[in-house]
Structure 1
Amino acid sequence: MTSFDRKPRRAPMPPPPPLAVDSLAFAIDQSAGLIEGVIEGKALTEMMTLARLTDLPRPVRGAILDLTYSTLREYGKGDAVLERLLSKPLPTRLHTILLVAIHRLAARPDTAHTVVDQAVTAIGSIAPGLRPVANGVLRNFLRQQATFGQTLAGHAASRYQHPDWWIQKLQKCLPDQWIAVLAAGNQHPPMSLRANLRQGTLDDASDRLHSAGIAHRVLDNGALLLDTPVPVDQIPDFFEGRYSVQDAGAQWAAQWLAPRPGDRVLDACAAPGGKSAHLLETADINLTALELDPVRARRIDDTLSRLGLKAEVLIGDSRDPDQWWDGQPFDRILADVPCSASGVARRHPDIKWLRRATDIAGFAAQQADILHALWRTLAPGGTMLYVTCSVFDEENSDQIARFCASHPDAKRVTIQGRMEHKLLPDAEHDGFYYALLEKAR
């Protein structure tokens, strides 16, 4: 074969230009990368750190997080829809780009042309040859969208946007409220502030917010529930320690533990320090804040520093007091234990897809170990407030029942006339469980 018989070589195609940081394509791609990590088993907070989102301009970061959180909240439905649109599986990153795009199309149908164009552009930046496939999938979604509701209605995970095991567990422990709890788990969470009463009265704190144009109402426990979430730099004197962001349900902890001036108080599993700070704002106490993770422990220091408060911050395992306890009993203990976080899934929408049914027994065993270990550090006549942000009985009512059965010196104490408080997630607060125990003298 002579050189004249050879077919001319094609010049290599230049790589696609990088996505503009301020484009919707960039936000879709970055959001898809975060969701890809969750699908692979990584926590969303870990993926956000790796992605260095804090290096991006605030509007860009906000757009990425809005797409990510909203898509994950609806993952059960979106993934089921996408499965029906694809004839064969795609690489995970391309799959998640389409997943984010489908969510955006459903939420903003008025911007369909832009969303399709920008999603195709995002896929083209990774796999140019699949641009026609992406365009076809998204166009098919727009044509068939009206039929998907009926098609998926019989599938619990897509209808309620939670895993099947989660739904079944709630049906068992909350037979009258499970639908409302699932619905709350798919909503945007409320934003509440806690006023630092060492810097003024609650009325004064409320007036300052009104003067700043921040609409809100004061709840029964003093929490300031905002009508609409706002960035903290819009909150007057936030960085001077006048307010803290804390869910209204979490603000019951300090009130129900009710420390007295001079009490020796332990906040176990204390990071990031919100409840520790609230306890210190409530009374002049000697507080020890315990945290296992050194990195998270630094967040306690940061929280207390902003508020002008002081406590002894220790790094140690609450299951092994011999590591950190000086032998002096505590008058009050806040046992805000690790849990499934099933009551705060709307704030951490990756949780419901990362958790497995078998995880709950593991959390319950860990909680039992913590309760047993901390109990010996409590003074006779002292009280322990047990707290979780879970809605599952194994971590809550069943846990306390087992503990009391195995500790004859533990007496349950009523809180506002009730033996326990199950705060289910709603428009005002996240999901929490509270039970108060007193140690016999």
Structure 2
Amino acid sequence: MLNKDAKPGRRAADQAPGAAAPKLAQQLSLVAQCVRGVMQGQSLNDLLVEVPGRLRPGVQALVFHVLRRQGRARALVRRLAPRRPAPAAEALLVSAVALMADALAGQEAPEGLRYEAHTLVNQAVEAAKRRPETGRHAAFINACLRRLLREADALQAGLDEDPEARWNHPAWWVERLRQDHPGHWQAMLEANNRPGPMTLRVNRRQTSRDAYREVLMAAGVPATPVGEDGLVLARAVPVGELPGFEDGVCSVQDAAAQLAAPLLLEGLPAVRADAGPLRVLDACAAPGGKTAHLLELADLDLLALDVDAQRCERVRDNLRRLRLQAQVKVADAGQVADWWDGRPFDAILLDAPCTASGIVRRHPDIRWLRRAQDVAQLAATQARLLEALWPLLAPGGRLLYATCSVFRAEGQAQAEAFLARHTDARSDRRLGHLLPGNAGLVADFADNVPGGYDGFFYARLDKTAS
């Protein structure tokens, strides 16, 4: 049964000194607009940019939680309203029901997202009245939510037979994971519905990881070491509160993404035979986290490409903050004739476009934006990029193929097909899928970390010297 006695939660963003806490109704109205946008195929990042800055942290926390519970919420709304409501009313209703979902399932909502049930009903109705497109549906929304309070058990009966309602992912996504990872799929789906920890990469050109950990401890932010340069924070903090962040001392980057640079450079000579720096290509570089990590680890002649001019500017911004230098160029890595100068690369990082199915705990809208056919389309793009870039690699060089995906078509199957096509390619055992959260590791190059990894795939492909 729904816990009607839970205390309403308040987020830190609602408690800024000297600022009145925004009403839940005001936030719910904005949350519903974001949810409606995602239903219509818009990226949540783009939608949140339109939210006023003072309200954005609280709205983001709420909308992330709603999207992590949206499958069950939509199933309940279908039972509450056999005729599909108007899009704006449906989005608001789904948002309110999703915020009740944990209590309906007998679970406790995360800290800061706990609201008394009748408060949610009243504030959802007030939110409806705030906008013309929902105002005429206020009585309908009120009736649906009050019926949910009265008939929660009956309305939820049998919901777990619907994969989308049970796992809060599209049914096709659930089935693909079940086939790709039969021993881990349930744990992966559960991990996706929990937020990932905030993880930092310390810029070793400015300080050591252990020294910066002491600085964080003094600032009241405990952290646990991970990998070579990483720190997993005990709690998330705004980047503006991280000591030295604006001066390039650290960056925010998940532990899985921090594996790319050392995997690419491990065992390669520090310089070329002609005593020059290694020539490295980061083929799909934006927003530049892996680009920067490579430059923090070694002195490189590095070219960073991205097809999007605005995203290239983000790479440049990141490099300036970290006091690093690279050539950044707007180009499609697959259209080699448009940008390559004919000189081979010693190492290539191909962090290829993918479904991003491994990072949905940080980007909960992705699961609702992707379609089943996207997997094959993106796998074809990945294969095209691999074929285009392999000839650019010098004999004895290395290509690291990476995706932030847990689908085998974008990882293991892609790498195996490439190795079958290319007799001059060899792979050590540095390949495999990392599974999100603590769902398990199907890779031989990583250890468990606090809070777990994002989902990723890596394959290290070496070109024979002959």
Q: Scaled by the length of structure 2, what TM-score is found?
A: 0.86
Give secondary structure in 2 for the equivalent of 1:414.
Answer: strand
The one-character-per-residue Cα deviations of 1:327-384 (angstroms, maximum 9, x if unpaired) are: 1111011110000100011222111111111111101100000001111111110000
Structure-1 residue corresponding to 2:125: 120
Task: State the AA in 1 paired with 2:251.
Answer: S
Question: Does residue 1:383 correspond to 2:390, yes or no?
Answer: no
Q: How many equivalent residue pairs?
A: 413
The one-character-per-residue Cα deviations of 1:267-293 (angstroms, maximum 9, x if unpaired) are: 110000000000000011111111000
* 2:361 corresponds to which of 346, 361, 372: 346
- Structure 2 matches for 1:188-203, cutoff 5 A? 188-203=195-210
- Structure 2 matches for 1:73-152, cutoff 5 A? 73-106=68-101, 107=109, 110-125=115-130, 126=132, 127-152=134-159
* 2:417 corresponds to which of 402, 414, 417: 402
Shift of 1:235: 0.8
Give secondary structure in 2 for the equivalent of 1:189.
Answer: coil
Shift of 1:406: 1.3
Task: State the AA in 2 paired with 1:42.
Answer: Q
Unaligned runs of 5+ in 1: 1-19
Equivalent residues of 2:428, 2:460 under 8 A apart: yes
Unaligned runs of 5+ in 2: 1-19, 102-108, 272-276, 438-450
Shift of 1:109: 6.2
Give secondary structure in 1 for the equivalent of 2:246.
Answer: coil
Question: Does residue 1:39 correspond to 2:39, yes or no?
Answer: yes
Give the Cα–Cα distance (whole angstroms) in 2 for the partners of residues 222 and 146 of structure 1: 49
Equivalent residues of 1:225, 1:428 under 8 A apart: no
Give the Cα–Cα distance (whole angstroms) in 1 for the partners of residues 115 and 47 of structure 2: 31
Structure-2 residue corresponding to 1:186: 193
Give secondary structure in 1 for the equivalent of 2:400.
Answer: strand
Shift of 1:89: 2.0
Shift of 1:305: 0.4
Structure number with greater Rg is 1
Give the Cα–Cα distance (whole angstroms) in 2 for the partners of residues 146 and 230 of structure 1: 38
Structure-1 residue corresponding to 2:460: 436
Structure-1 residue corresponding to 2:322: 307
Equivalent residues of 1:288, 1:313 under 8 A apart: yes
Task: State the AA in 2 paired with 1:308.
Answer: R
Mark the CA change 1:136 to 1:236 in structure 2 (over 3 Å): closer, same or farther. same
Give the Cα–Cα distance (whole angstroms) in 2 for the partners of residues 104 and 151 of structure 1: 20
Shift of 1:209: 1.0
Mark the CA change 1:109 to 1:85 in structure 2 (over 3 Å): closer, same or farther. farther
The one-character-per-residue Cα deviations of 1:20-75 (angstroms, maximum 9, x if unpaired) are: 992211111111111111111222223233x2x2x431xx2111111111111111
Give secondary structure in 1 for the equivalent of 2:232.
Answer: strand
Structure-1 residue corresponding to 2:445: none
Normalized per residue, the structure richer in helix is 1
The one-character-per-residue Cα deviations of 1:85-144 (angstroms, maximum 9, x if unpaired) are: 114221111111111111223446652232211110111222444322211111111222
Give the Cα–Cα distance (whole angstroms) in 1 for the partners of residues 98 and 119 of structure 2: 14
Give secondary structure in 1 for the equivalent of 2:355.
Answer: coil
Shift of 1:192: 0.2
Task: State the AA in 2 paired with 1:208.
Answer: V
Structure-2 residue corresponding to 1:330: 345
Give secondary structure in 2 for the equivalent of 1:305.
Answer: helix
Mark the CA change 1:61 to 1:265 in structure 2 (over 3 Å): closer, same or farther. same
Give the Cα–Cα distance (whole angstroms) in 2 for the partners of residues 218 and 150 of structure 1: 45
* 1:168 corresponds to which of 175, 178, 189: 175
Give the Cα–Cα distance (whole angstroms) in 2 for the partners of residues 185 and 65 of structure 1: 17
Task: State the AA in 2 paired with 1:64.
Answer: V
Task: State the AA in 1 paired with 2:306.
Answer: E
Equivalent residues of 1:391, 1:424 under 8 A apart: yes
Give the Cα–Cα distance (whole angstroms) in 1 for the partners of residues 245 and 404 of structure 2: 26
Equivalent residues of 2:432, 2:458 under 8 A apart: yes
Structure-1 residue corresponding to 2:244: 237
Give the Cα–Cα distance (whole angstroms) in 2 for the partners of residues 216 and 42 of structure 1: 35
What percent of counterpart residues are identical?
Answer: 42
Equivalent residues of 1:338, 1:363 under 8 A apart: yes
Structure-1 residue corresponding to 2:436: 425
Task: State the AA in 2 paired with 1:35.
Answer: V
Structural RMSD (CA): 1.6
Shift of 1:149: 4.4
Give secondary structure in 2 for the equivalent of 1:344.
Answer: coil
Structure-2 residue corresponding to 1:251: 258
Give the Cα–Cα distance (whole angstroms) in 1 for the partners of residues 197 and 153 of structure 2: 30
Shift of 1:147: 4.1
Q: Scaled by the length of structure 1, what TM-score is found?
A: 0.90
Give the Cα–Cα distance (whole angstroms) in 2 for the partners of residues 314 and 339 of structure 1: 21
Structure-1 residue corresponding to 2:104: none
